[in-house]
Amino acid sequence: MKFRQLFLLLSAVSILCIAAPAFAADSSKGAANSQIFGFWTLVPPLVAIILAFISRNVVLSLFLGVFSGAMMLETTGFDFYHGLLGSFQRVSHEILGSLADSWNAGIVLQCLAIGGLIAVVSKMGGTLAVAEALAKKAKGPRSAQFFTWLMGLIIFFDDYANSLTVGPIMRPVTDRMQVSREKLAFIIDATAAPIAGIALISTWVAYEVGLIKDGFEQVGIQMNAYGAFVETIPYRFYNIFILFFVLAGIMLLREFGPMLKAEERARKHGKVLADNANPMASEETTQLEPGAHVVPSIWNAIIPIGTLIVAAFLGFYFNGLSAIDNAEMLAKINAAPFSFFAVRECFGASDASVVLFQAALLAGIVAMVMGVCKKVFTIEEAITTWILGIKSMTITAVILLLAWSLSGIIKELGTAIWLVSVLSDTLPPFILPSIIFVLGSVISFATGTSYGTMGILMPLAIPLAWAINGDQAYLLLNIAAVLTGAIFGDHCSPISDTTILSSMGSACDHIDHVRTQLFYALAVGGVSVLFGFLPAGLGFSPIITLPLGLAAVVAMLFLVGKKLPDAS
């Protein structure tokens, strides 16, 4: 970025911060701050999001977003000198606090460990062998994209593992079949959180069920929270429609909007990336090609990746089992340790970030041992390769830390609380699910966190829906609107961790990924409201709304989309 552009960006952020009410904010009281700042609580997320699109520099944009929020919290009156000093200290404390959080630290370590794993697998020729094997079956763009979509569904248990695993494996295949990196990133992103959010067993279940349970207790509803979670699945319109949209687009080979231009560029000119793209991949990855003496084997990928998946499943079970302190529940689990109930409860109680880090670390060790035993490399070369893979993920760790810091600043400012207070007025019963869906989308887009949005909206949505209409189906519909709206907004947001990881896994320019995906997500979000939440709010059964929505998705692809060539 040129110095003049940087100066203009910094000037714009300074003006926004100065324009905000310069009161002495209490950084520990988000609700109070939401009343003090009002509309201005939107400044940090808007700075980060708008500057990301203008500058195409995610790190700078996130940093300025965090800094603008810190300025608002630390500046008293018009004492900008001490405000600047305090803001710098607050930004550093936010970043340190984000890394000190055990969950966040586990995610960062998981990303680094998976980067090391993929590097060793690549150096052994495992990724190349899988790519060559799939390339024999993937006769064209359609089949290459279909295998990517299918692999995304297979890794249903965690969205982070999905984003970081599918991309590096499928990228050589989709590149060879002239599928744009933007489309690869979209397929990965659209099969990460959407499938993890509705899977019966995943790292999301405990959190979602816990929120539902707390909401039920709040209004005195006697209902099994997990059973309610399962019953919301037919109402999770965006999750279902976006998964189907990806598949329908692949089968019909139809694209529209910015994605159409990206795919036409890849098909006609063989450019999987735009000329001005800045892919989220390190130069070190070019050093990970297998040597001339290496005979590529798919087992060099299957065994380590299989170790990752198996270790993750076992880790979820035993880690969760050790965390359960309810004697009655433990007795039920011990009576039938392999039952669905036991697996569900253990998975739900596990610390997913720690388990996935441990699984990735174990898989990396297995890969290094395999490589040394097969004489692909020495022990020293194996460790060097693993560290090289970690280095390639450094930018991801930096972005995640800044995104979490921005989320922390937004929470202290009370941004989500202000949005809820403004948008959740008295509404007709039939439109409430749609409003909750849209409200969840806005909060999730602005904050970049689906978990945080669920935590904010669920305690409000359950009592409100129960007070308006005491029907169980209506309550479940509004719960689904919270869970689905949070994922929809997170799917659109450039500051979302899963969106960032999808760009990283596919080695795509992050802003290009967001720009092309946003158009599709909004289209499917519109279908979710018009053919899902609105008719469901009027009392129509999912037996009617789901087929209508799926048909609308296909009709949209035919009416708006343009067919692209396929070699198969």
Cα dihedral sign for 245, 251, 254, 255?
A: positive
- Beta bridge partners of residue 509, listed in sequence order: 279
Contact status, residue 358 vs residue 386, Cβ threshold 8 Å: no
- pLDDT computed for residue 320 by the predictor: 83
Give the whole-angstrom CA distance, residue 63 versus residue 61.
Answer: 5
Tokens of residue 352, six digits? 């997913």
Contact status, residue 502 vs residue 176, Cβ threshold 8 Å: no
3-class secondary structure, 307: helix
Cα dihedral sign for 448, 249, 238, 524?
A: positive
Tokens of residue 279, six digits? 């892919």
At 563, give phi and psi (nearest 5°): -75, 140
- pLDDT computed for residue 283 by the predictor: 47
- pLDDT computed for residue 38 by the predictor: 77
DSSP run (H or E) holding 567: none
**Nearest CA-CA partner of 250 in 184, 199, 192, 154:** 184
- Beta bridge partners of residue 254, listed in sequence order: 563
Give the Cα-Cα-Cα angle 157, 161, 164 (nearest 5 degrees): 150
Q: How far is CA 218 from CA 214, 228, 230, 462, 478, in A?
A: 6, 15, 20, 9, 16
Give the whole-angstrom CA distance, residue 359 versus residue 354.
Answer: 9
Torsion angle, alpha carbons of 432, 433, 435, 436, to 10: 110
Contact status, residue 270 vs residue 178, Cβ threshold 8 Å: yes
Give the whole-angstrom CA distance, residue 89 versus residue 83.
Answer: 10
Q: DSSP letter at 338?
A: T
- pLDDT computed for residue 426 by the predictor: 56
Contact status, residue 83 vs residue 76, Cβ threshold 8 Å: yes
Q: What is the pTM of this model?
A: 0.70
What is the pLDDT tens value at each position of the chain, 568 positions in all?
A: 555 555 555 555 555 555 555 444 554 556 677 777 777 887 887 787 777 667 656 677 778 888 888 888 877 666 666 667 877 888 888 888 888 888 778 878 877 887 788 788 888 888 677 767 776 787 888 988 998 998 888 777 667 767 777 888 888 889 988 999 999 999 999 998 898 888 876 657 666 777 787 778 767 887 777 778 888 999 999 999 999 999 999 999 999 999 999 999 998 888 988 888 888 764 444 456 666 677 778 898 889 888 988 888 888 888 888 888 888 888 888 888 888 888 877 876 777 778 878 888 999 999 999 989 888 888 888 898 898 888 877 776 787 788 778 777 877 887 767 766 665 555 678 898 999 899 888 888 877 778 777 776 777 778 778 877 778 889 999 999 999 998 998 888 888 888 888 898 888 999 899 999 999 999 999 999 999 999 999 999 999 999 999 999 999 999 999 998 765 4
Quickly tell me which residue has 């009370």 as its tokens. Answer: 414
Helix, strand, coil % over all residues of the chain, rounded to 5 = 80, 0, 20
- Beta bridge partners of residue 189, listed in sequence order: none
Quickly tell me which residue has 């997170």 as its tokens. Answer: 490
Give the whole-angstrom CA distance, residue 421 versus residue 257.
Answer: 34
- pLDDT computed for residue 560 by the predictor: 92
The per-residue pLDDT for range 195-225, each reduced to its tens digit, is 888 887 665 766 677 778 777 876 788 777 7
Contact status, residue 448 vs residue 495, Cβ threshold 8 Å: yes
**Nearest CA-CA partner of 161 in 151, 173, 175:** 151
At 115, give phi and psi (nearest 5°): -60, -45
**Nearest CA-CA partner of 485 in 528, 523, 514, 518:** 528
Half-sphere exposure of 60 (CA within 13 A, CB side): 16
Q: DSSP letter at 282?
A: -
Contact status, residue 64 vs residue 87, Cβ threshold 8 Å: no
Q: How far is CA 147 from CA 22, 42, 249, 313, 345, in A?
A: 54, 40, 14, 23, 31
- pLDDT computed for residue 2 by the predictor: 56
Give the whole-angstrom CA distance, residue 292 versus residue 289.
Answer: 9
- pLDDT computed for residue 80 by the predictor: 67
- pLDDT computed for residue 50 by the predictor: 76
- pLDDT computed for residue 483 by the predictor: 92
Q: Please count the residues of the chain.
A: 568
